[in-house]
Structure 1
Amino acid sequence: MEEDNQSLMELPKVNLEGVLARLPLQSLLVCCCVSKSLLNLIENDLDFAKEHFAISESQLMIHSPETTSFHLIDLDADATPGFGTRVEIKPNFNLPLHGFEVADSCNGLVLLESVDMVNGSHRCIVCNPVTGEYIMLPETKLLSRYATCALFYCPRTNQFKILRAFHQVFSLEGHDLGPGLDASLDSDPDLAVELDPSSDSDLDSDSASELNLFPDYDGNLDSGANTDDSSLSSDSDSDSDSSSIYSESDTMGELLVGGSDSWESLGNLPFSPLTIYSPCYLDKATHWLCVEESVQNLIVFFNFESHQFGEIPAPAHLGKTYINAYWLVALGGFLSIFDSFTTKEKFDIWVMKEYGSWTKDYVIDTTAWGAFHRDLFYKPAMCRRNGEVVMISEEGYILFYDLSKKNGRIIKHRRIDFPDRAVVHTPSIMSLRDAMRDSNMRVLNVASRFGRPELNPHSYLEFAGTFSE
């Protein structure tokens, strides 16, 4: 009888760690309140943190820059369709980093960026929202606009790398023009053009387009960075443009390796950050769909080990005209394309199991979603280990579709309003100080999340319905 009443703490250490490692993050944080020994194990044991992360599955994380909150959605929270009540989503994390937005997530770390379109500045932070720790990355020396970033982290070497693609801004007054630019302006005075819409310049819009002084795309593509100029006042825009010029030929790339105090130049990039979207990380490389006509293939990538860019041909029938109806997703360890344009009211899923060779492995009939199909724009977010595809809509609906059973369920979350950002994130309890062990960067701590789980989250999930083809 006494043996039946044994507490969790009486288990052998190896068994205890095995049980705890399989708990979701919310339950694990609650365990921190049980005893000091559990708190010490969960908060300070690096081996346990690595084991928990290896077992953990990716979740959806919604970042609201206006409230500086990270809202983690447990995708198993709605496992019982008949619950009929609201399910609170815990925990919420708060980092007082106003002006920063989520750019990317990788291996439990989140890359945040702050873009100042007026002054052409771009700042980046790497953080772990679970532990409340963050690192301010070195500022780039080049002025830039329309920057987009990708994050890579290698647990084996405790090293992270960040790719930064941007349009370099050439300042005509008050800023360092960058190496070699002074000489260029001296040799070609036509480069020194003031983009002041209020001036009496003889340069019309057609001529400006030929000189690539205006971007070819409106910046609304989901490339992982905020490229919307609408928040800037006309006066600020005029002041900025009147003292700077940029062109397609000035599309630059930089790489930051963890531990370095400066960015390494990658030179001119083969594509503009305004022409890539739907980032997908797979096999040590980040892939994007690319609409730039000068790029031959539909898919481009950057390999974080070789530091090389490359291209991948898409299925022959896919073109760049309707690329906003395609999405890149990692499916079963392979690169896949979700195509919602070719076959109306269906998602055709093309999978590349061999380089350049695509097969249409799945078709999702969206008409089976009933009322949730009409007038709702769904974007594929991720594929889970159990074979479910997760899609999200701006209206706040999260859809789960089982590829093998051809059925699914829909849950309701609060509306995702711009600049809110939903990203795939695997939570990690590993301290950023451990993750950056060989880095000379200073780790800052906002507030520990351990032992203080958030019990009053402002958001919730509601069961919306099921469907079957």
Structure 2
Amino acid sequence: MAADNRSLIDLPKLNLESVLMKLPLPSLLVCCCVSMSLLNLIKNDSNFAQMYFAKSESQLMIHSSLHSNFHLIDLDADTSPAFAELVEINPSFNLPLHGFEVTHSCNGLVLLENCNLDDDVHRCMVCNPVTGEYITLPESTVLSRNATCAFFYCPISNQFKIFRAFHRVYRPSPNFESLLDVDPDPEPDPLIELDLSSESTASDGNGVFDSDTHTEDSHSDTDTDTDSDSDTDSNYSESDAMGEFFLGGSDSWESLDNLPFSPLTIYSPCYLDNATHWLCGDESVQNLIVFFHFETVQFGEIPGPAQMTKTHAILPDHVNLVLLDGFLSIFDNYSREAKFDAWKMKEYGVKDSWTREFVIDTTAWGVYGLYYSFKPAICRNNGEVVMVSGNGYIIFHDLLKKRGRIVRHPALELPSTAVAHTPSLMSLRNVIRGSNMVVLNVSPRFSQSDLNSRNYLELSTAFSELETADH
């Protein structure tokens, strides 16, 4: 009888780990509340964390810029009508600070950025939202605009690395006019770099920079809005592009010379083989795709499909880089109306190896014009491509079976971002061990009831390209 009353925690460790390894993340987090022994195994055992991460698949992370939380969506959740009309999304996590946006996710860690036009300082944080840990990175000594980052974390070396491209900003000297009155003969440079060691304007939490809208000349005399006021206080040239590199645990950013492209011309980051790739519309760059390699700290470029020109590289709403079956791929719905062409580069760096692998007929979705607002977020191992839309919809499209479903997620109706994220139980303290960085904590589970109404999925419709063709 005593044997029948044994609890889960009485199992040998190997058997217990085998059981826990099969649990989804929400159930695993519930187990942390059962006993200290389970908590220590799940959240404090680095070997278990590595094994759990190795078997995990990427999920869809929706972050609302209006709230410091994100929803992690289990893409295997059953949203069929027979299961439930609404499917609650658990877990939902807090993020550290308002004013920061999720921009990248890599191997369980998340990069958050804040670009404030009031002080021209670009700030970064690295966070593991599952454990609720985050660190604030040192600020650069260079003022910046139009910052674009790439983020890489290697679980094997246990190091994260960040590349940042931006336009260098100069501010007029506050004593420039008085200098001219005293000595009019010399020709001093009125633009000097601001010393960040002095106090700077604090972020108001709302100054998240949109690189698509702030590209006007900084000598504007208008004062109709805050952004134009800020521009009159600083100067930058779009030809003065810089790059910086940060290695986790360092005390400062390292300057990179000879940035080969403007940060305003790159978008749709895609990670492959220790490198971040972007589509690039910079006319000074010959090829369609540029990359930065984190191991060699070098830039490069590779060609796109022969059918694509630089025009395709300046259409972030229509052309996107993704990873499909482990290959660098492009989803294009600019070249053909109401269709997505999925191109795959079967031999890395070889232009002639680009092949149109799939064609997605968006008319099967049953919503006219809806395809214009969709972007591919994840290409899954089961053959599904997951696309998201700012009007509140997520599409699961099976590329092989040519069918799928449309799911509604209300949080997408807010200003939000969606990235692929693989949840990790690895403590951020292990990642920065031996450095001077301070790990802070935020409650990993939110408890604000007013957000619960947006924390669900709802099946909208199912579709089939084959059925559409028959009709």
2:390 is matched with: 394
CA RMSD of aligned residues (A): 2.7
Of 130-139 and 315-324, more deviation after overlay is shown by: 315-324
* Per-residue deviation, 1:256: 0.4
TM-aligned CA deviation for residue 226 of structure 1:
2.9
What's the TM-score, normalizing by structure 1?
0.84
Task: Determine whether 1:259 maps to 2:255.
Answer: no
User: Alignment partner of 1:9: what SS?
Assistant: helix
Partner of 1:250 in structure 2? 240
Letter in 1 for 2:248: G
Question: Following TM superposition, by how much is the alpha carbon of 1:321 offset from its aligned partner in structure 2, in angstroms?
Answer: 1.7
Cα displacement (A) at 1:353: 1.4
1:348–1:360: 8 Å Cα contact kept in structure 2?
A: yes
Q: Which residue of 1 aligns with 2:423?
A: 427
Tell me by how many angstroms 1:148 deviates. 1.1
Question: 1:319/1:4 Cα in 2 relative to 1: closer, same or farther (>3 Å)?
Answer: farther
Q: Which residue of 2 aligns with 1:333?
A: 326
Contact between 1:88 and 1:457, CA under 8 Å: does it hold in 2?
no
User: Which residues of 2 match residues 284-433 of structure 1 at below 5 A?
Assistant: 284-323=274-313, 324=315, 325-354=318-347, 355-356=349-350, 357-371=353-367, 374=370, 377-417=373-413, 419-433=415-429
Question: How much does 1:229 deviate?
Answer: 5.5
1:413 to 1:235, Cα distance in 2 relative to 1, 3 A: closer
Using the TM superposition, give the Cα deviation of residue 283 of structure 1 relative to its aligned residue in structure 2, in angstroms: 0.9
The within-5 A match list for 1:434-453 is: 434-447=430-443, 449=445
**Structure 1 residues 170-228: Cα deviation after superposition (integer angstroms, max 9, x where no partner):** 222259xxxxxxxxxx8896x969xxxxxxxxxxxxxxxxxxxxxxxxxxxxxx96326
Once residues 47 and 233 of structure 1 are traced to their aligned partners in structure 2, the CA distance between those partners, rounded to angstroms, is 57
2:124–2:136: 8 Å Cα contact kept in structure 1? yes
Which consecutive unaligned segments of at least 5 residues does structure 1 have? 176-185, 194-223
State how 1:11-410 maps to structure 2 within 5 Å: 11-78=11-78, 80-174=80-174, 226-227=210-211, 234=224, 236-323=226-313, 324=315, 325-354=318-347, 355-356=349-350, 357-371=353-367, 374=370, 377-410=373-406
Q: Which residue of 2 aligns with 1:183?
A: none
Q: 1:309 to 1:81 in 2, by over 3 A?
A: farther
- Any conservation in 1 of the 2:390–2:415 contact (CA below 8 Å)? no
- After superposing the two structures, state which structure 1 stretch, 274-283 or 429-438, moved more: 429-438
- Measured at CA, do residues 121 and 19 of structure 1 come closer, stay the same or move farther in structure 2, by a change above 3 Å? same
Deviations 1:263-295 (A, max 9, x none): 000123111111111111111111110111111
Matched with 1:464 is 460
C-alpha displacement at 1:419, in angstroms? 3.9
Alpha-carbon distance in structure 2 between the residues aligned to 1:147 and 1:386: 35
SS at match of 1:390: strand
In the TM superposition, what whole-angstrom CA distance separates every residue of 1:128-173 from its partner, at most 9, and x where no partner exists?
1111111110100000001011110111111110011101002222
Q: Aligned-pair distance for 1:243?
A: 3.1
Is the Cα contact below 8 Å between 1:432 and 1:443 reproduced in 2?
A: yes
Provide closer, same or farther for how the CA distance between residues 241 and 225 of structure 1 changes in structure 2, counting only shifts above 3 A. closer
Note the alpha carbon deviations across 1:372-420, whole angstroms, 9 max, x for none. 6646521111111212100011111111111221111111111525642
Residue identity in the other structure for 1:262: S
Q: Deviations over 1:8-62 (max 9, x none)?
A: 3343311211221232211111111222221221121111011111111111111
Q: How far apart, in 2, do the equivalents of 1:243 and 1:141 lie?
A: 18
Distance 1:3 1:403 in 2: 50
* Partner in structure 2 of residue 197 of structure 1: none
Distance change >3 Å, CA 34–CA 415, structure 1 → 2:
closer
Unmatched 5+ stretches in structure 2: 176-185, 193-207, 215-221, 466-471
- Aligned equivalent of 1:207: none
Moved more, 357-366 or 254-263: 357-366
CA contact (8 A) 1:104 1:423 kept: yes
The DSSP-based 3-state class of the residue aligned with 1:327 is strand
Asked whether the 8 Å contact 2:117–2:209 carries over to 1, the reply is: no
Pairwise CA distance, 1:303: 0.5
- 2:180 corresponds in structure 1 to none
Once the two structures are TM-superposed, the CA of residue 113 in structure 1 deviates from its matched residue by 1.0
Aligned residues: 425
State whether residues 71 and 92 of structure 1, in contact with CA within 8 Å, keep that contact through their aligned partners in structure 2: yes
Q: Which position in structure 1 is the counterpart of 2:203?
A: none
Residues 1:235 and 1:460: Cα distance change in structure 2 (over 3 Å): closer
* 1:140 counterpart letter in structure 2: S
- The sequence identity of aligned pairs, in percent, is 62
Moved more, 439-448 or 248-257: 439-448
Aligned residue identity for 2:210? N
Return the letter of the residue paired with 2:262.
Answer: S
